[in-house]
Structure 1
């Protein structure tokens, strides 16, 4: 599902196949997990939601300090 979009890989993705990619467009941010199926479904969110996600403070996962 490229549709001419430019997909960018997370800087946290490493050689072991942990690939989170995003493709920004003016009205939608497309997010996909490309390690198993790069042409599979995408999560689509608004730029406002994406900005809020990026600016949210990181919290440890439950059970982790």
Structure 2
């Protein structure tokens, strides 16, 4: 699985960080998404999928490898 984020679309809701804190963080200045792991660990993949589905701005994209 590969993850990409579009910080231009991000509305800084923080749902991704709550759901997958090992994969996502937020920029301290504007709250936009920061991708910590382009390829999340196996134990974090379900959480990353949920973050993609939950993102109100559709700023997270997952591609299955």
By the TM > 0.5 criterion, same fold? no
TM tier relative to shorter chain = under 0.3
State the structure with more CA Rg. 1
TM-score by length of 1: 0.25
Q: Which has the higher contact order (CA 8 A, sep 6+)?
A: 2
